[in-house]
Amino acid sequence: MLSGFGEAPYTLGGGRLMFSVRCFPSMRIDIVTLFPEICRAPLSESIMKRAQENRIVELHIHNLRDWATDKHHVVDDAPFGGGQGMVMKPEPIFAAVEDLKSQIANRKSQILLMSPAGRRFDQEMAQQLSQESHLIIISGHYEGVDHRVIEHLIDLEISIGDYVLTNGAIAAGVLVDSVVR
């Protein structure tokens, strides 16, 4: 039996033809990104649009800045302990994940980070993730995320390949398309 899926068959009849269909609860996916519009366009068309209309997947795209507590909604900072560049601050990420998990009753959430340092995404991983009932995908940006996020929050870091993208929102769109498909 697949995790999260019921075995109770439902019988549909059409004259003499009878067949059984298993009931599959919908999957919820939350994407947390600094660039929600990058995800919205491709994930609201074609097969993804039909999957949402048919309640196969419930997709929510969130702006990480909504969980920033300062006046200017700052989400980046120098790395804790020093280093080059800027990283995404841990506080808004922790707040976002806590808030999103609290909205889901009776579902275990898998917290994913799109990161070039992550495990390479492939079809086998897509199949495994498709069996989860709730995914929260954190889209990295800048030089990545504060390492405390990885240590204390993330279940799996995922890379979609060895090349440079503008940000993790593009990678999150690729992952979601493959998992839902």
Phi, psi for residue 13 in degrees, rounded to 5:
-125, 145
The predicted structure's pLDDT at residue 175: 96
Give the chain's residues under pLDDT 50.
1-13, 17-23
The predicted structure's pLDDT at residue 159: 95
Q: Could you read off the pLDDT of 109-141 as tens digits, one per residue?
A: 999 999 988 999 999 999 999 999 999 999 988
The predicted structure's pLDDT at residue 12: 44
The predicted structure's pLDDT at residue 29: 97
Crossing angle for the helix pair 46-53 and 168-180, to the nearest 10 degrees = 60
Q: How far from each other are the two terminal CA atoms of the chain, in whole angstroms? A: 20
